[in-house]
Chains A and B, each alone.
Chain A
Amino acid sequence: MKRSEEVMKQLLSGNEAMALGAHHAGVRVATAYPGTPSTEILQTIAPMEGVYAEWSVNEKVALEVAMGAAYGGVRALAIMKHVGLNVAADPFFALATTGTNAGIVVISCDDPGEHSSQGEQDNRHFAKFAKVPMLEPSDSQEAYDLMDWAFRMSEEFDTPVLFRSTTRISHCKGVVNVTRERPRELKKPGFLRCQSKYVMVPSNARVRRIAMEGRIAKLRTFVESFPLNEVVEGSEKLGVIASGIGYQYAREVFKDASFLKLVTTYPIPEKLVRAFAERVERVIVIEELDPWLEEEVRLLGIPVRGKEFIPIIGELSPEVVEAGAIKAGILPAPAKSFVLDPPSFPIPPRRPQLCAGCPHVGPEFVLRRMGFDARVKPTPGPRPLTEREMVVASDIGCYTLGVYEPLGALDTCACMGASIGQAIGMEKAGIPNKSVAVLGDSTFMHSGITPLVDAVYKQSGITVIILDNGTTAMTGHQGHPATGISVTGTKVGRVDLEELCRGIGVKDVRVVSAFDLRAIEEAVKAGTARNEPSVIIVRGPCALHARVKKTPMMVDTALCAQCHDCLEVGCPAIALSGDEVRIDPEVCIGCGVCAQVCPQGAISEAKR
């Protein structure tokens, strides 16, 4: 079949390009847990022909499923965000030891600048750490092209390949020449029994350990002639070594320099780097986050500059690279150009917020009232709790936005599922206050089950509040085991949250409506009064997902005492206009939480 020009030339995001590249490489099993900026890769590949795709319960399971598939003789892909690889680190290292049967690629999408993450980390370290090769695309075209190479390298060198992207690669769109098609004939699935390779008892693991070192040695030679590493001839005065998005910024900023673009960033092609460095007067490295390439180049004994003028924290941009280069004397200071001063008026920030009708608002409002002493003003620094206060250990999801005032209802957010362990720890430390753990349904499935087992096992008296909005909301409404919805939207198996918690051994499992403040409060009181673990499932659909629109609320100005308690809900539909509180009927979906908060009974459904 001859394809039209239009089909061959496509505008694709890095994530879409990786998915298409993997499809054309014959991937048959793709697994992931949603996480920005990686989420769209699985969503793109899932509907493609001949691919089994799943939202796994977490990244560890995702990699283990992919690993099994690759052992079983089909090409497999596991996709995760940077912190996801922390969760999957255990199987990642194990897989690095055993090697594989068919090709297996692990995509890690890092998030420099923490657009939507709890931390910033440079996952390139994982490649050296686990002794596996790494590829890094610098645009969508390379994201597509490199995927085929990744699978071939995986098979040729009997190793997983770490495919590392960042936010500006994953979420940037560019023109891609689609040059391949999915192979018509794929290898038949089949496991090749080999205990010395797959059963990592110490005697076998010691032998594999030697193979790992041999593999890296072979890869060092292989990458010397890797065709997608590229030298761009320019001025001999300055040589720039770069990879990923840093390469694109460098091309923009250093117009006349010579460039060495590396896509094989572990191991690096040593001879190529040396030859490049010899041709130029001085070498600099432009890269986001850690001085990864810079240190690898320096280890070769080549004098190189990089992080001394390029920030190690946050995202780069052409401006940041340019400013650093000017400061370091690598670029001349520009002629004075026009710079716009800040305006004379303040620009109010637009932080992300919980939506109007969000089912997290009610429970977080209750926790603020129950857990935080209203007499104590919120402070950014540490302060001891008063007797009546409660520790609200929280987790990762939309509900973490409840940390912002006016809700300000949370005490912790560390990593997926940590809230439950933290609450147990507070109790076992013997702090005088009660502690509760708050986490979403998807987060609970991801990493909350095992610590809940621990709570039952240790007879902890903590209360676990599962905010069940029926979806993985923050990343754009993906299914998870408790929804029974697959990545393509079909019905699959469903895990029942209540039954699960009871099955673990929690005797007190209650279900309350997310929009019934009194019921939530009573459940928390009852739960925290017990000396054994309790679970409260606070249920209500995500407002963005379900798009429920009931009769909007309105304020009866004759009854309103202007106490402004309703503003404490932090609902985007409620605004102060002068002294008067008004509810925007366009934005309000009629959840009724504000009406329950109003001490005057001044808020009710608007009359039609």
Chain B
Amino acid sequence: MKEVNVLMVGVGGQGVILASDGLAEIGMKAGYDVKKTDSLGMAQRGGSVVSHVRWGERVFSPMTKKGEVDYLVSFEELEAARWAAFLRPGGVALVADVVIVPVSALGGKIPYPSWEEIGGYLAKVTDKVYRIPTRRIGEEVGNTRALNMVMMGALSTFLDAPRNLWEEEVRRRVPPKFLDSSLAAFVKGAEAMEG
């Protein structure tokens, strides 16, 4: 059974925890031992959110190690750069095309880096850097808050777990009102990788 280490990062309120909870659940149902841990502290107040999710034969530490993460799933561009050192060489970086400027950069003293800078930095670790068009997909499905579903869809194409488990998880976690658009976002996220 191949070990899978995922680091999901983003900003408070983006749905990182919901997605990483789902990912852990899928791993368990696919027959893995699973552990996950979040660093959220005061995340609800706009701080960084980090979720470590590990699937394996037997998982001891819930926390991943620097340089050993197989999939860095970032819901925001700057956060991908912040956590890049966790990615293993040759790992996969999935980065949502979302920019949330932190207060420290609002006053103009510290610039927010460009995608060219961030993408270039990630490219030092791996050639598998994918910028996911979440904004376009959000508009297409009519639900801009389905960002986490898009990212889950993209990630699902890499992992060894049956597709129905992923969809089941979406159904379980999303309120009925947003279910159709969430499922559509998930499918389009997967298509973005396959296409």
A-to-B contact residues, CB < 8 Å: 9, 11, 36, 115-116, 139, 168, 171-175, 245, 248-249, 251-252, 317-319, 322, 337-341, 343-355, 398, 401, 406, 474, 476, 544, 567, 570, 572, 574-576, 578
Compute how far the CA of A265 lies from the CA of B65 in the bound complex, rounded to whole angstroms.
28
> Pick the contact of A174 from B12, B35, B85, B112 — CB < 8 Å?
B35
Question: Is B30 an interface residue when CB atoms closer than 8 A count as contact?
Answer: no
Please name the 5 residue pairs, one residue from A and one from B, whose CB atoms are nearest each other, closest first.
Answer: A352-B42, A115-B41, A352-B45, A348-B105, A251-B60
**Please, which residues of chain B bring their CB within 8 A of the CB of A401?**
42, 45
> Pick the contact of A575 from B11, B24, B106, B117 — CB < 8 Å?
B106
Compute how far the CA of A168 lies from the CA of B51 in the bound complex, rounded to whole angstroms.
12
Q: Mark B98-120, 1 if CB is under 8 A from A, else 0.
A: 00011111111011110001000
A347 near B60 with CB under 8 A, answer: no
Q: Kindly report which residue of chain B lies nearest to residue A139, judged by CB atoms.
A: B35
**Please, which residues of chain B bring their CB within 8 A of the CB of A343?**
81, 84, 113, 117, 121
Q: A11-B25, A168-B37, A172-B36 are in contact. Are A351 and B62 (CB under 8 A)?
A: no
Question: Is B173 an interface residue when CB atoms closer than 8 A count as contact?
Answer: no
Question: Is B67 an interface residue when CB atoms closer than 8 A count as contact?
Answer: yes
Compute how far the CA of A338 lies from the CA of B40 in the bound complex, rounded to whole angstroms.
28
B-to-A contact residues, CB < 8 Å: 11-12, 21, 24-25, 28, 33-48, 59-63, 65-67, 78-79, 81-82, 84-85, 87, 89, 101-108, 110-113, 117, 121, 124-125
Q: Kindly report which residue of chain A lies nearest to residue B47, judged by CB atoms.
A: A352
**Please, which residues of chain B bring their CB within 8 A of the CB of A345?**
81, 111, 113, 117, 121
A-B contacts, 17 listed (Cβ < 8 Å): A9-B28, A115-B39, A168-B62, A172-B36, A172-B37, A251-B60, A318-B65, A319-B65, A339-B67, A345-B121, A350-B11, A350-B47, A352-B43, A401-B42, A406-B107, A567-B107, A574-B106
**Please, which residues of chain A bring their CB within 8 A of the CB of B38?**
171
> Pick the contact of A340 from B21, B39, B84, B108 — CB < 8 Å?
B84
What's the least CB distance linking A117 to chain B, in Å? 9
> Pick the contact of B82 from A139, A347, A572 — CB < 8 Å?
A347
What's the least CB distance linking A536 to chain B, in Å? 24
Q: Kindly report which residue of chain B lies nearest to residue A174, judged by CB atoms.
A: B35
A572 near B37 with CB under 8 A, answer: no
B45 near A348 with CB under 8 A, answer: no
**Please, which residues of chain B bring their CB within 8 A of the CB of A351?**
47, 102-104
Q: Kindly report which residue of chain A lies nearest to residue B63, judged by CB atoms.
A: A317
A248 near B106 with CB under 8 A, answer: no
Q: Kindly report which residue of chain A lies nearest to residue B48, judged by CB atoms.
A: A350
B78 near A347 with CB under 8 A, answer: yes
B85 near A340 with CB under 8 A, answer: yes
**Please, which residues of chain A bring their CB within 8 A of the CB of B121?**
343-345
A353 near B103 with CB under 8 A, answer: yes
Compute how far the CA of A11 lies from the CA of B27 in the bound complex, rounded to whole angstroms.
10
A338 near B60 with CB under 8 A, answer: no
A175 near B66 with CB under 8 A, answer: no
Q: Kindly report which residue of chain A lies nearest to residue B53, judged by CB atoms.
A: A173
**Please, which residues of chain A bring their CB within 8 A of the CB of B125?**
338, 340
B46 near A350 with CB under 8 A, answer: yes
B41 near A347 with CB under 8 A, answer: no
B113 near A347 with CB under 8 A, answer: yes
B63 near A318 with CB under 8 A, answer: yes
Compute how far the CA of A171 lies from the CA of B35 in the bound complex, rounded to whole angstroms.
11
**Please, which residues of chain B bring their CB within 8 A of the CB of A572?**
46, 103, 106
Q: Kindly report which residue of chain A lies nearest to residue B29, judged by CB atoms.
A: A6
B103 near A168 with CB under 8 A, answer: no
B102 near A337 with CB under 8 A, answer: no
B106 near A318 with CB under 8 A, answer: no
A252 near B60 with CB under 8 A, answer: yes
> Pick the contact of A337 from B35, B44, B48, B67 — CB < 8 Å?
B67
